Structure 1
Amino acid sequence: MKREIDIRRVSRVDACCRPLDWAWPKQNRSFVEENWKRRTAGKPQMFNGRVLLLQDVTFEQDLCRNTYFETDYADFVAWIDKGYPDPAIANGFAMGALRGSDGAFICGVMGEGTTNAGRIYFAAGTPDPDDLRPDGTVDLAASLTRELAEETGLTEGDYHVDDEWIIVQRWPTIALLRMVTLPVTAEEGAAKIRANLAGQHEPELQDVRIVRGVEDIDPERMPFFLQSFFAWVFAQR
């Protein structure tokens, strides 16, 4: 799989879930178990649920097709911490590129009790069985809005979501973004999110960060795909 960044726009994403007998976690069970103990030490809110990982992604003109499979979150985290040893698998997630009416973006700063404490990126989460529909499809649009609500407290009535998807791919990470625009400035949006966080019992975010231009890109705390997305967006302005 290629490792360079590829960014493209598509009008539609079709996703489904198919069974896959993933051999890597079975072959590395001791590492998975020890890694999970290390990861969850002092973080009681972390739990080993089920998540959906990518086993295939293809592009057909204006369409992106994703095929997922279901596995344990502990397996997923161990695979990441081991340096993505199985190159046939990828982490493909929906993400709302939240911005204010002034065009400035609003990212979250992950809380200390989360897997990615201190990292800065848009609200997002690896798809899980809640995103599965009876026909076997994966509702990534619903995953996007759910994660926004869980992390920022914003609901669908608070913003407009573009129909277009922006796919930022650097295997094994594939971010499927949609522009999400608030009717207020980024400063006002950030203030509302901070107020929402203050009212949450165990917020996933510890703060938010406004990104107005390339000078606000944080190479230390932002994942590479997000740095690339911002560079791409701001280059078009």
Structure 2
Amino acid sequence: MPLAIHRVTELDLKYRPWTWPFAVERREEIDAHFANRQAEKPKLWNGQVLLGRNPVFTGDRFSAEYFQADFASFLTWRDLGFPGESVFNGFGMGALRGSDGAFVLGEMAGHTANAGRIYFPSGTPDLDDLREGLVDIPGSVAREVEEETGLSAEDYRAAPHWECVVSGAAIAMIRILDVPMPGQALRAKIEANLATQQSPELAGIHVVRGPDDCTPAMPGFVTAFIEAATG
């Protein structure tokens, strides 16, 4: 599927309550699907997430409207191949980059909904990311980076821009986070933190220096970003 990358410096993501027809009309199918997935992975939790509508790129600005949905509906929608055209999954990612230009990515643990996938720290935004009617993607990224890797905002320098990679029903808002240590040292630092966690979200850490280090376990929007950032 063709990808598009938009560089922006402003995210204008407003919260607008909306009833998602998919979540209403296919409720029985959603509940059954989530029950099956939860039987496979008992740690899955049907909390609330934020999904987007009406994405618009204008100059250096990305605008969209977000609404609340339950995770079961989101997961079913995703597993069915994102049916419909009015909704997208818009999330932030922190592209950790070492002082030698190497990117560091995490491999999701087996108990997660994305087991085995390799990408940057990220997460579908939720109600904790709402700030005065806006979705706080920078805050979401900072939280996910710290939860997954142990790195706080003091450990890196965030780029002033976002690379928004549009891939079908997904829009990954990726921000480079420069860490003042080489990629392998950064990997070791994160692995040391994972060793202290009782149930870490990540099962492994990968150092990627360019497209040759990409694998099929990485989503297309991640490999597209890496190709653009290291080319």
Whether TM exceeds 0.5 here: the answer is: yes
What is the CA-CA distance between 1:31 and the residue it aligns to?
1.5
Amino acid at match of 1:63: R
Show CA shifts across 1:140-199 (max 9, x none).
100010000111111111111111111111220100011101110110110010011010
Identity of aligned residues (%): 42
Unaligned runs of 5+ in 2: none
- Measured in 2, the distance between the counterparts of 1:42 and 1:194 equals 27
What is the CA-CA distance between 1:30 and the residue it aligns to?
1.8
Show CA shifts across 1:13-53 (max 9, x none).
11111011101121111211111112112423221000000
Q: What SS does the aligned partner of 2:73 have?
A: helix
1:222 aligns with 2:221: no
- Measured in 2, the distance between the counterparts of 1:107 and 1:130 equals 24
Amino acid at match of 1:132: L
Show CA shifts across 1:59-107 (max 9, x none).
1211111211000011000001111112111000011111101000000
What is the CA-CA distance between 1:114 and the residue it aligns to?
0.1
State which of 129, 140, 144 in structure 2 corresponds to 1:147: 144
Unaligned runs of 5+ in 1: none
- Measured in 2, the distance between the counterparts of 1:168 and 1:98 equals 17
Amino acid at match of 1:190: R
Q: What SS does the aligned partner of 1:87 have?
A: coil
Matched residue, 2:125: 127
Q: Scaled by the length of structure 2, what TM-score is found?
A: 0.97
Give the superposed CA RMSD: 1.0
What is the CA-CA distance between 1:4 and the residue it aligns to?
2.3
Q: What SS does the aligned partner of 1:21 have?
A: coil
What is the CA-CA distance between 1:132 and the residue it aligns to?
0.4
* Conserved? CA contact 2:101–2:183, under 8 Å: yes
Show CA shifts across 1:97-142 (max 9, x none).
1110100000000000000000000010000000001x21111100
- Measured in 2, the distance between the counterparts of 1:7 and 1:140 equals 17
Q: What SS does the aligned partner of 1:85 have?
A: coil
Matched residue, 1:71: 69
Q: Scaled by the length of structure 1, what TM-score is found?
A: 0.95
Matched residue, 2:192: 195
- Measured in 2, the distance between the counterparts of 1:57 and 1:227 equals 22
1:186 aligns with 2:191: no
Matched residue, 1:160: 157
1:100 aligns with 2:80: no
More displaced 10-residue stretch of structure 1: 53-62 or 185-194: 53-62
Amino acid at match of 1:50: Q
State which of 83, 93, 96 in structure 2 corresponds to 1:85: 83
Matched residue, 1:31: 29
Runs of 4+ in 1 over 3 A off after TM superposition: none
